[in-house]
Structure 1
Amino acid sequence: MEIIEPISRKLIHLAKIYLNVLSGRLAHLGINRYYYVMSLIHAENGKLTQKALGEKLGMDKSAIVGIIDYLTDKGYVYREVNPADRRQHLLRTTPKAVKAVPDIMAKFNEMNDTVATDISPKEMEIFYKVLHQMEENLKPYATKEMDLDLNFNK
C-alpha cells in the first residue's frame, strides 16, 4: 500500500517553521504569537469589535477572547466599550503596540522575502492563487463550527 502524505501536513510544517523563525526575530517584543492579529487591530484601531475580528479571521468567540486576553496581558491591546452599542467591545492598541507594529510589518516582509528566495514573482502569484482555490474547494465541506485558527505557535 502506498502512503499518501496529506497536503495539510506540508502546509502545517511550513507554517510551524515560518512562525518559529518569525517568533525568534520578534522575541524582543515579549510575545511569541498573534503578531498578525495585533497588526489587524492596529490597522482598525478603535473600529474593530471582537466579533468582527473573529469573522475576519474565521475564528470562534472563545478563541478571540483568549487572543485578546493574551495581548492585553502583554500590554499591547485593550478593550473599550462601544458607545454606540454597550454590548460590544472595540479593540485598541496601546502605545507599546503602536511602537511594535512597524517592526512586525518589517519582519513579515523579511520573512516573506526569505521564504520566497529563488521563487519568481510569477510562481508566488500562482502559489497564492492555488492556495486560494484549494480553500474555496474545501469551504463547502467545512462545518459551521470550524475554527480556522492558524496560530500554530501556541
Structure 2
Amino acid sequence: MDDESFQGIRDKSPFIAWIHNISLNQQKYMKSKFSNIDFGHDVRYIIFIYDNPNCSQDDLVDMFCQSKGNIAKILKKFEDMGYIKREVNPKNRRKYMLNTTDKGSRLVPEYRRISKEWEKEVGISDEDKELKKRIAEIAYNGMKLIEDN
C-alpha cells in the first residue's frame, strides 16, 4: 500500500496505529458474529476470569491497567448479564473471588473459536508463533514500563 489513507491510517503511521486497526477490525467482526451482544473489548475480562478461576477484581486492575471503578462497573454489567459471579473470598471476607457462570463458560470457547476463524481469514496462522511471541513481549514490556514508573 502506498501513502493512501486506509481506515484512517497510512504507511507512515506509527506501528501502534496498525495494531489498533487490527484490534478494531477484529472487534467489528466479533460484533457481527455476536450481534445480540456488544461486548467490545470488555469480553477480555470474561476470558481472563474464565482462564483464572477465583481471581479478584485487583487481578483485573493489575492485568489491564484499568481503574478499580472502571473494572467494577464492567464486572457489574457482566454479573447482571449472567456471565460472571462474585463470591466472598473465605480467606479475606473483604474481597470477592470471580468466576464465570455456566453462561460465561459456554461463551469463552465459542468466542475463541470465532476469533480463530477471524485470524485465519486475515492471514494469521499457527506458523506466526514468533510474531505472536514478539508482540506478547512488546505488550509485557509496555505493562512493565508503566508499572516501573
Q: TM-score range by the shorter chain?
A: 0.7 to 0.9
Other structure's SS at 2:13 match:
coil
Q: Aligned letter for 1:81? A: V
Scaled by the length of structure 1, the TM-score of the pair is: 0.72
Moved over 4 A (4+): 136-141
Scaled by the length of structure 2, the TM-score of the pair is: 0.74
Question: Quick one: which of 64, 71, 76 aligns to 1:64?
Answer: 71
Query: In the alignment, what sits opposite 1:125?
Result: 129
What percent identity do the matched residue pairs reach? 20
Other structure's SS at 1:88 match:
strand
Question: Quick one: which of 88, 93, 114 aligns to 2:121?
Answer: 114
1:79: Cα distance to partner? 1.3
Query: In the alignment, what sits opposite 1:27?
Result: 35
Other structure's SS at 2:93 match:
strand
Other structure's SS at 2:66 match:
coil
The alignment covers a number of residue pairs equal to 138
Query: In the alignment, what sits opposite 2:20?
Result: 12
Q: Aligned letter for 1:95? A: D
**Preserved contact between residue 31 and residue 74 of structure 1 (Cα < 8 Å):** no
**Residue 41 (1) aligns with residue 49 (2):** yes
Say what the alpha-carbon RMSD is for the aligned residues.
2.7
Hey, what's the Cα distance between the residues in 1 that align with 2:49 and 2:147? 27
1:90: Cα distance to partner? 0.8
Higher RCO structure (Cα 8 Å, ≥6 apart):
1
**Residue 105 (1) aligns with residue 109 (2):** no
**Residue 142 (1) aligns with residue 149 (2):** no
Q: Counting helix residues as a fraction of each chain, which structure ranks higher? A: 2
Query: In the alignment, what sits opposite 2:84?
Result: 77
**Preserved contact between residue 82 and residue 88 of structure 1 (Cα < 8 Å):** yes
- Structure 2 unpaired stretches of 5+: 1-9
1:136: Cα distance to partner? 5.7
